[in-house]
Amino acid sequence: MAQLKNDLLLRALLREPVDRTPVWIMRQAGRYLPEYRQVREQAGDFMSVCSNPELACEVTMQPLRRYKLDAAILFSDILTVPDAMGLGLYFAAGEGPRFKRPVRKTADIRRLKRPDVERSLAYVFEAVRTIRRELNGSVPLIGFAGSPWTVATYMVEGRSSRDFATIKGLAAENPEALLSLLDTVARTTTDYLNAQIDAGAQAVMVFDTWGGALEGDDYRRYSLAAMQQIVDGLTREQDGRRVPVILFTKGAGAQLANMAETGCDALGVDWTTDLATARGYVEDKVALQGNLDPATLRESPEVIRQGVAEVLASYGNGPGHVFNLGHGITPDIDPAHLGVLIDAVHELSPPYHR
């Protein structure tokens, strides 16, 4: 494959010196871009884009044609794993993802099989290979998966949830069954991410969107332990380079200190914890990614620039910072406003690296 021309992201994730802070944006390929909406409309639905390697490549590349980003991220979905496990993923109009066959009983969990991801999710790995060819070494490609806890919430609830009553009930009544489910998902996710790395992903990220719904010991038992299992099982070197691993728990707060002990290379930080505080929690053991409030992109260019300046100042001097939002970009954002953010990072970050 082509020689990597811009490795700022990979170096920053490994806390190596860079001349400016690299920047990419969670959900950078998505509904805020009119060209993405056009592809999705032509494809018919979201999963038709995900499952077509050429279309997945096209929408992965779209933001890179508009902006000077330092990474591409695979266009896919965290629910491809339970879909491969036979739960029957579908998307209800206006209601998000649902499963035809949720797993709510011990018998359901026992019946779950660890799928052959190379076969059942071959379209994802073909998308990775296609994107790497299209990138031609311009920037690294990030692969990703959902955390076992987050994926399990959808598998048990059968859909998005506000209170996670069913899975929390399972945790209270039959914790061993829940741990068995999380183990199966963690093993499958490890296979899935390793196959992405084998296909060409140069960094991987685990999205723990709903870990913040757990507190204290429950977070460590049901969310962090399963992510630790994944980190322990991942391929960490490919083509002579380390493959950095990023963990992101939305709402992690002080749990960042425990997350930093997993052996991951970097932690995503949401906008509710400033980076100075986060850096104190992790004691510079890992890089940090984040963490501008996504709502800032609705404001004026001046406010966006100020927000960028504040995030950079909060992290402070030295290596180990990747600029991002504190969560994904929302569909209502003016694409020009993201351009303001990216330009501001390019302009304002070099003094922090001298």
* The pairing of beta strand 203-208 with beta strand 245-249: parallel
Mean predicted confidence (pLDDT) in 222-234: 98
pLDDT grade, residue 91 (50/70/90)?
confident
pLDDT grade, residue 146 (50/70/90)?
very high
pLDDT grade, residue 137 (50/70/90)?
very high
**26 compared with 3, residue with greater pLDDT:** 26
Residue 90: CB atoms within 10 Å: 12
Q: Which residue reads 């999963």 in tokens?
A: 47
Residue 110: CB atoms within 10 Å: 12
Torsion of CA 135, 140, 146, 147, to 10 degrees: 170
pLDDT at 93 over 80: no
| DSSP of 161-173 | -SS-HHHHHHHHH
Question: Which residues does residue 72 pair with via DSSP β-bridges, in sequence order?
Answer: 141
Mean predicted confidence (pLDDT) in 31-48: 94
Residue 156: CB atoms within 10 Å: 25
Mean predicted confidence (pLDDT) in 83-91: 91
How much is the pLDDT for 1?
A: 73
**5 compared with 91, residue with greater pLDDT:** 5
pLDDT at 241 over 80: yes
Cα–Cα distances (Å) from 96 to 72, 89, 93, 230, in that order, read: 24, 10, 7, 27
Q: In the CATH scheme, what is the code of domain 8-353?
A: 3.20.20.210
CA nearest to 117, candidates 133, 128, 106, 104: 128
* Percent of the chain clearing pLDDT 90 (strictly above): 92
Mean predicted confidence (pLDDT) in 57-81: 97
Question: What residues act catalytically?
Answer: 27, 31, 40, 77, 154
Distance CA 213, CA 233 (A): 26
Q: What contacts 222, CB < 8 A, 6 or more positions away?
A: 149, 171, 178, 179, 182, 214
* The pairing of beta strand 89-92 with beta strand 72-73: unpaired
Give this prediction's pTM.
0.97
Nearest-5° angle of CA 77, CA 288, CA 304? 80
Mean predicted confidence (pLDDT) in 153-163: 91
pLDDT grade, residue 267 (50/70/90)?
very high
Distance CA 125, CA 198 (A): 9
Q: Where are the beta strands (DSSP E) in 49-123?
A: 72-73, 89-92, 96-99
* The pairing of beta strand 266-268 with beta strand 245-249: parallel
